[in-house]
Every structure is written in C-alpha cells, then in structure tokens.
C-alpha cells in the first residue's frame, strides 16, 4: 500500500518538478556586451508587424544608438493573430542566432505566440551561439525557456517598438554596453509637488535578499508552470509585471505560484508595474492589487517590494535573468552582484 501511495505521489507531482529535480541546471553563459556598430537582429516571435513603419521606427531608434539592424526573413509574415507559422517564426530566431554578424536579437513586440515556439527551438544551436536576447511581455516565454534550457542570461527589457527615451536608453546602455554592476532604483523626482507622486515604491516586507534574478510577465510565466521550460526556483529573486489584468486574475496567478511551491522557494520578490490593472467591474468593493500582494507575499516572511520600473511602461529597466542579485525591499532597489554580459 505504501509503495502504491509513493507511486501515486510521484506521478501527481511529476509535472511540477523543478529543473534541478529532473536534471542538472546548465552552467551560466553570459552573452558578449554590445559595441557601437554591432548588428541587432529584429524578428516577430508572437504578434505580426501590422505595419512596415513599426519595424522602420525600431531600425531608426537602434541606428540612433549606433547599431546596425538585420531583419528576420519572416518578419512581415502574418497568420491570423500570429506573425506567420510557428515553424517560420522559430526559424527566424534560429537564423539570427546562427548568424555570426548578429550580436543581439530583439523582438519587435509581444502579443501572443512565443510559447508555441518552445518545443520547436534548437536549444543546442542557441547554446553554441550565445548572444543577447531581449524583450518583455509575451517574450517572457523565450527568456525563461532559453535561460532554463541553455544557461544563457536573457534580458527583460525594451522591444523594438518600445519608447527609446532617455531613461530606458540609459539602463539599456549601462547593462548591455557598459556591463555595469548597476543598482536599479526608481526615479525620485517630485516635480512641483510637495512629495513624490509618480514611480513610488511600496515595501511589502522589509529587508535584504540575495539570489538569482528570474521572472517576467506574470501571465506568461504562470502558464508555463508544469512544463520543462522554467528554471529551478530555489534561492531566486522573483520579479513579475503585467498589464490589463483584473485583480482577481492576478490573485489567481499568484495563488497558482503558491500552490505549486514556487513562492515558498524564492528568496525575495519584486513586483513591477501592472498597467491598467484596476479592480474590474466590482469596483473598490473588490480586493485591490495591494490587498492581493499583501495576502500572498507578507506570509512568506521574505523581503519584497512593489513599484519597480519593470513592465508595460515608457520608462523601464533592462533586467537580466540568471544574474546574482541583491534586493533591498526597504529602499526599493535591485543591485546586480555581477555583470550581465562578458
């Protein structure tokens, strides 16, 4: 009877085993830093580029930073709400990683569709040709899977269609070009107000925490739970962000992470921005996002804060996945303990 119980327990828990429960985590690989004149490959792994102007603006923005660009062969394809067939979108990623002239790979934008590519990717090819991969939102699926499968440090940061304003460009340069051990801190300008109104941080649980920095879009991350495309969560700093989600959905996703044991394994927690994430039709008779974060995160008794410049926002950090990091939940900072690039 006991052996049957053990078999049933192992069978039930198998989908939720972490990477280190089933195989050794790959060694960390840092991509080479960017240099002026380098070529950045652009592709659409999820939603299509509905206009050539979107791609052109991305090329002009990167040219203004001193980079050349190369387009994936299928960048203008369209298959319904996807940027072409799955195999073609995956082949664009392969082509850009396999091209020695390309030093970084950037998605034009997110949408939906990156998770469909994960079983099609040649992770050995990517591991043999490490380079910067950057994006956010739906690109989270690629960032997490490639980091988990290859050990390559991937970058949660601007997509090609993002606003390359001074703030975003500064963090992009400091992390990917200068390779600084940056301390990411929100802007503190008050403007003509008596106190800071915008970009505030909220300490959920005070203290310092260290660990590997891992995360991305909460919706995308939570829908990968149970697959083999997530890394080991032990001793990590989990960061998440989202957009246009009702509070009850955020509650459901954080509950999911709790039930499968992810929240129990992490060392610290950073919540970025949740753009347009109000209480929904229930109004403020509903729980608020602050309520949900309080209920899920405070019982962990781990350093945690919210409000970091991560998400679907104009001013954003470039955040590397897999790098040893320290957060100060009282001050609201993320400090890289090593460079994200070689």
Q: Which residues are catalytic?
A: 137, 241, 312
Report whether 300 contacts 329 (CB < 8 A). no
CA 115 to chain centre: 13
Q: In degrees rounded to 5, what are phi and psi of residue 13?
A: -85, -15
> Taking every pair of C-alpha atoms in the chain, what is the biggest distance, in angstroms?
72
Give the integer Cα–Cα distance in Å for 274 and 278: 9
Dihedral pair phi/psi, residue 241, rounded to 5°: -150, 170
Strands 102-107 and 39-43: parallel
At 236, list the tokens: 């990590």
End-to-end Cα separation, the chain, in angstroms = 54
Which three-class secondary structure string do you get for 38-92?
CEEEEECCCCCCCCHHHHHHHHHHHHHCCCEEEECCCCCCCECCECCCHHHHHHH
């Amino acid at each position: 009877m006991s052996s049957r119980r053990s078999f049933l327990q192992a069978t039930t828990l198998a989908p939720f085993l972490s990477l280190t429960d089933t195989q050794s985590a790959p060694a960390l690989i840092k991509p080479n830093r960017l240099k002026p004149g380098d070529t950045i490959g652009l592709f659409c792994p999820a939603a299509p580029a509905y206009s050539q102007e979107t791609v052109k603006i991305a090329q002009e923005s990167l040219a203004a930073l001193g980079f050349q660009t190369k387009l994936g062969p299928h960048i203008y394809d369209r298959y319904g709400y996807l940027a072409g067939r799955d195999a073609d979108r995956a082949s664009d990623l392969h082509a850009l990683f396999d091209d020695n002239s390309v030093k970084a790979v950037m998605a034009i934008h997110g949408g939906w569709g990156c998770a469909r590519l994960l079983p099609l990717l040649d992770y050995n090819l990517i591991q043999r040709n490490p380079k910067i991969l950057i994006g956010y939102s739906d690109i989270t699926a690629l960032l997490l899977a490639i980091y988990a499968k290859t050990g390559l440090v991937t970058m949660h940061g601007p997509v090609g269609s993002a606003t390359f304003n001074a703030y975003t460009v500064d963090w992009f340069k400091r992390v990917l070009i200068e390779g600084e051990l940056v301390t990411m801190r929100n802007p503190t300008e008050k403007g003509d107000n008596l106190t800071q109104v915008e970009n505030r941080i909220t300490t959920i649980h005070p203290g310092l925490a260290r660990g590997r920095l891992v995360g991305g879009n909460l919706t995308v991350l939570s829908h990968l739970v149970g697959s083999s495309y997530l890394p080991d969560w032990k001793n990590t700093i989990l960061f998440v962000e989202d957009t246009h989600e009702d509070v009850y959905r955020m509650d459901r996703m954080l509950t999911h992470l709790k039930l499968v044991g992810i929240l129990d394994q992490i060392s610290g927690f950073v919540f970025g921005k949740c753009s347009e994430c109000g209480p929904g039709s229930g109004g403020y008779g509903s729980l608020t996002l602050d309520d949900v974060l309080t209920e899920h995160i405070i019982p962990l008794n781990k350093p945690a804060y919210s409000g970091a410049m991560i998400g679907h926002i104009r001013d954003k950090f470039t955040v590397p996945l897999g790098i040893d990091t320290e957060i100060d939940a009282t001050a609201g900072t993320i400090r890289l303990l090593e460079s994200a690039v070689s």
